[in-house]
Chains A and B, each alone.
Chain A
Amino acid sequence: MMKPKQTKSLRGTQGLISLLASLLSIMVGLLVGLALLSLLNPAHAFSGFLKILTTGLATTEKMAKVLYQAMPLMLCGLAVAFAFKTGLFNIGAAGQYTMGAFCALTVAIALQQPWYIALIAAALGGALLGAIPGICKALFNVNEVITSIMFNWITMYAVNLTINNMPIMLTNYWSKSTIKDRTAPLMDANPAGILPKGGLDTLMNSNYINIGIFIAIGVAIVIWIILQKTVLGYELKACGYNRHASQYAGINAKRNIVLSMIISGALAGLGGGLYYLSGTGQYTLVKVLLGMGFNGIPVALLASSNPLGVIFSSLFISYIQVGGDALQPHFIKENIDIIISAIIYLSAFALLMKGWIAKLILRGSPRNANLEVPALNTAEASVSDPDTTATAQAAQKEDAQ
């Protein structure tokens, strides 16, 4: 119904509307946070709020911390976002992240390989684990959510079992300490396994920073290119919109489901590799799932599953988390989780908010104001006809089950 000429400018406007809606969610979410702080401890509410907003940029050290935490968040967010694009919900990023961490550390500590080999191993480990829900979905029609949840636990127990039976992996093998509930610090075991700092550590005066953040950003850009500019990306997204239609058009939907989960798993695995190869964290043998994989979900949602958006949403979430750590002793850092969840909750209203913003921006041109704005995937460029997006999306959600 739209003339092709108009469509192009509309896409630009839609991207802008999407961005504005996200920013509005963030602002309102932060105000919720301020209200919460005032409720809990009125005397320190405002100074606490300022801390949330400014700590991340206060010193280079804090900036380094923001980048360091953003690195695994970004990759887990990418993993979730990538699967979303194919209509799959990868809740298994937690397990894939653990697997990536395990493979990276095994290659670095037990096999004494340099960091880049360890990173490749991390991605492969994550990919292997991601393939399982994909295969179960494609061949046996088992819901990928349930497989992922089961394999989160299986992976965690299996990794703990294996590390316990590999004495070379543990701290007490490499130093005189008696600690044996965590993996050895890379500094003792294999300094070549640590990600290079590239001089950033002296520049930013922090031990946390390394080139990992650039790897993460690079990967995000590559994923964006794959999704937007390649046949593979087109097929994956087509399967996400409507699997039956894409199958009818000759796309092998089963292969694409498996492939999408493999790539998604590799991304989460790489995230685990990057985090544990930074040399600042040791994998601890506890019987709880690592939260990082789950934190990828809000990162992806805040970015509307756009890979480039994930770069910014992960930086933002990491930024206010670092701010939240500075809240103590007047508040506890869980206040930040409330703010993040409020932002995510509000971004669920994207459809509604985009409607309002569209009305505001496009006032005076009633035809455009009534335009249907899809909730997710708004910044999408490759869907040719905006009129079909809403229906395609409904189909996508149905398929996601």
Chain B
Amino acid sequence: MIFADILSATILFAVPLLLVAMGGMSSERSGIINIALEGIMIIGALCGCLFLRYTDDMGFGANAPQLYMLLAILIAGIAGLLFSMLLAFASIRLKADQTIGGTALNMMAPALAVIVTWAAQGQAQTTILIPKWIRISQESLGMQPGTDFLSRMFFKSLYLTTPIAFLLLIAVIVFMYKTKTGLRLRACGEHPQAADSVGINVYRMRYLGVAISGFLGGIGGLAFTVAAGSGFQSSVAGYGFLALAVMIFGNWKPLNILGASLFFALFKIIGSYAGSIPFLPKFEGIKSSEYIYLMLPYIVTMIVLILTSKKSRAPKAEGVPYDKGGR
């Protein structure tokens, strides 16, 4: 049973990493380093959670939970998209340094979230609580609540963000590798001058890349807050940066990113469940030995990265502002 719980939690925590890392990928594939993912997640989560809170306060949310959850996801995505346009404007239109713009947004987002939370909920109310009804249970689907392995794995903590994330994964794969626009977008991240010479509008492609990353990042922020479970507290606990790491780990490819986020989430969950997994060593003589397992995902990721680094390849033109007149 514990393994069903672990798998369930792994999927739950892999979803935000997957979404945000895919966002980072679509931006970097177009040539823009999106270090602002952390900030984008916060803004997405803020708007999504505020909306859910509002529907709950008004009393109509619980009538059609998944409809409002879907709307919240859309709102989170659009909020992230709009916020990411600040980065796009600075780094594409004004050719500013992408790291600087991203850092500014990362600073701005949590501060803005705190201010908005206070303004919306009154002083010292730093947490936006998420209503309980957003969870998809077996009852809500008209099924018999089961206690077997599979129902525990799938339904212990199932939210609409999970199926949506897998749909978006498929959408991103199709878009990136099966459409003309996707090919053009990738070309802009590798050799924008060449892309321009065959008539591709590099600026537009890069705006598109950042917009996708903002949309996915915003949804990822909501997915993280839902997974964390304690409501929105103007932070996503560094998941935006972790997603950046997952993206590099996944070698800027969607399926590898899926694998990387599942891998990372699995070790993270093993870390927090370590006490109840029978065969893991317990480190009796050491105080607070849970820290050993909390370090685990980061250490394992590092080892894997070192072992696989020879194959790692970033988009060639990322981070370089495109100048039509440049050489």
Residues on A facing B (Cβ under 8 Å): 36, 40, 89, 91, 136, 140-143, 145-147, 149-154, 157-158, 160-161, 164-165, 287-289, 297-298, 301, 332, 334-338, 340-342, 344-345, 347-352, 375-376, 391, 394, 397-398, 400-401
Contact = CB atoms under 8 A, between A and B. Distances in A.
Given A161-B291, A165-B288, 11 more contacts: A140-B309, A141-B312, A146-B305, A150-B299, A150-B301, A153-B298, A338-B112, A345-B105, A348-B96, A348-B104, A397-B320
A160 B291 contact: yes
B64 interface: no
Interface string B233-271: 000011001101100110000000000000000000000
A157 B295 contact: yes
11 contacts: A143-B314, A153-B238, A154-B295, A154-B298, A158-B291, A160-B291, A301-B99, A301-B100, A345-B86, A348-B94, A350-B97
A145 B108 CA distance: 21
A334 B248 contact: no
B20 to A, nearest CB: 13
B249 A352 contact: no
A394 B320 contact: yes
A115 B105 CA distance: 38
Interface of B: 33, 86, 90-91, 94-97, 99-101, 103-108, 110-112, 114-115, 118-119, 237-238, 241-242, 244-245, 248-249, 286-289, 291-292, 294-295, 298-299, 301-302, 305-306, 309-310, 312, 314, 316-320, 326-327
Most B CB contacts (10 A, CB to CB) among A36, A157, A391 go to A157
Contact of B291 (A150, A152, A164, A351): A164
B90 to A, nearest CB: 5
Given A145-B244, A165-B287, A341-B108, A375 B115 contact: no
A334 B124 CA distance: 13
B287 A337 contact: no
B242 A337 contact: no
A36 to B, nearest CB: 8
Contacts of A298: 103-104, 107
A301 B103 CA distance: 9
A228 to B, nearest CB: 22
Contacts of B90: 345, 348-349
A79 to B, nearest CB: 15
Contact of B115 (A143, A147, A334, A391): A334
A150 B245 contact: yes
Given A141-B309, A344-B103, A401-B318, A338 B108 contact: yes
A338 B115 contact: yes
Contacts of A147: 302, 305
A136 B86 CA distance: 33
B96 A350 contact: yes
Nearest to B271: A157
A142 B242 contact: no
Closest 8 interchain pairs by CB?
A: A337-B111, A345-B104, A341-B108, A341-B107, A348-B96, A161-B291, A344-B104, A348-B100
A154 B319 CA distance: 28
B108 A337 contact: yes
Contacts, number: 159
Contact of B95 (A40, A152, A297, A351): A351
A136 B308 CA distance: 12
A258 to B, nearest CB: 15
B299 A341 contact: no
B104 A141 contact: no
A295 B274 CA distance: 34
Nearest to B114: A334
A339 to B, nearest CB: 9
Contacts of A338: 108, 111-112, 115
Nearest to B238: A289
B101 A345 contact: yes
A134 B81 CA distance: 34
Contacts of A152: 238
Contacts of A335: 111, 115
A332 B118 contact: yes
A172 to B, nearest CB: 13
A342 B237 contact: no
Contact of B288 (A164, A350, A394): A164
A337 B103 contact: no
Contact of A400 (B103, B112, B287, B319): B319
A376 B101 CA distance: 13
Contacts of B320: 394, 397-398
Contact of B101 (A91, A161, A348, A400): A348
A146 B245 contact: yes
A160 B242 contact: no
A289 B240 CA distance: 14
B137 to A, nearest CB: 30
B237, B248, B326, most chain A CB atoms within 10 A: B248
B108 A401 contact: no
A152 B249 CA distance: 17
A335 B118 CA distance: 12
Contacts of B101: 345, 348
A89 B97 CA distance: 13
A139 to B, nearest CB: 9
A25 B95 CA distance: 17
B107 A146 contact: no
Contact of A401 (B97, B237, B286, B319): B319
Contact of A345 (B108, B238, B289, B299): B108
Given A351-B94, A401-B319, A142 B305 contact: yes
A336 B292 CA distance: 37
Most buried by B among A36, A337, A347: A337
Nearest to B109: A341
Contacts of B103: 297-298, 301, 344
Contacts of A287: 294
A332 B305 CA distance: 42
A153 B291 CA distance: 11
Contacts of A150: 245, 298-299, 301-302
Contacts of B114: 332, 334
B245 A352 contact: no
Given A145-B244, A348-B97, A337 B110 contact: yes
Nearest to B326: A394
A146 B288 contact: no
A345 B305 CA distance: 32
